[in-house]
Amino acid sequence: MNHFMTQKMNNKKIIPLSVPNISGNEWKYVKDCLDTGWISSVGSYVNEFEKSIAKYCNVKHAIATSSGTTALHTSLQILGVKENDYVIIPNITFVATANAVKYCGAEPILIDADPETWQFDLDLVEEFIENSCETNTKNELCYKKDKRRVSAIIPVHIQGNMCDMNRLISLSKKYSINILEDAAEALGSSYKKKSAGTFGTLGCLSFNGNKTISTGGGGMILTNNQDLASKAKHLTTTAKKDPMEYYHDEVGYNYRLVNVLAAIGVAQLEQLPGFLKRKNYVGEFYKDHLSNVGDISFQKVNKDVITNHWLFTIKTKYQKKLLKFLNENGVISRPFWMPMNKLPMYANCIYINKSDNCKKIHKSCISIPSSTNISDQELSIVVNYIKTFFNEL
Ligand SMILES: Cc1ncc(COP(=O)(O)O)c(C=O)c1O
DSSP string, 335-391: EPPPPGGGSTTTTTS-EE-SS-HHHHHHHHEEE----TT--HHHHHHHHHHHHHHHH
The mean pLDDT value for 295-311 works out to 97
Residues with Cβ within 8 Å of 379's Cβ and at least 6 positions away in sequence, in order, are 282, 285, 286, 369
**Could you tell me the pLDDT band of residue 1, with boundaries at 50, 70 and 90?**
very low
From CA 203, how far away is CA 298, in angstroms rounded?
27
Q: Specify the pLDDT at position 5.
A: 47
pTM: 0.97
Backbone phi, psi, residue 216, to 5°: 85, -65
The mean pLDDT value for 259-280 works out to 98
Residue 182 Cβ inside 6 Å of ligand 1? The answer reads yes
Q: Element (H or E) spanning 359, and its range?
A: helix 357-364
Give the distance, in angstroms, between the CA of residue 237 and the centroid of all CA atoms in the same chain: 23
Query: pLDDT of 51-87, one tens digit each?
Result: 999 999 999 999 999 999 999 999 999 999 999 999 9
Q: pLDDT exceeding 90 applies to what percent of the chain?
A: 95
**Could you tell me the pLDDT band of residue 11, with boundaries at 50, 70 and 90?**
low
Residue 67 Cβ inside 6 Å of ligand 1? The answer reads yes
Query: pLDDT of 159-170, one tens digit each?
Result: 999 999 999 999
From CA 21, how far away is CA 279, in angstroms rounded?
12
Give all domains of the chain, ordered by start, each with its CATH number.
7-20+272-391 (3.90.1150.10), 26-270 (3.40.640.10)
Distance 257 CA to ligand 1 centre (A): 15
Residue 69 Cβ inside 6 Å of ligand 1? The answer reads yes
Query: At residue 7, does pLDDT exceed 80?
Result: no
Triad 184, 185, 186: Cα angle to 5°: 100
Distance 206 CA to ligand 1 centre (A): 6
Question: What residue type is 137 in one-letter code?
Answer: T
**Could you tell me the pLDDT band of residue 8, with boundaries at 50, 70 and 90?**
low
Distance 156 CA to ligand 1 centre (A): 10
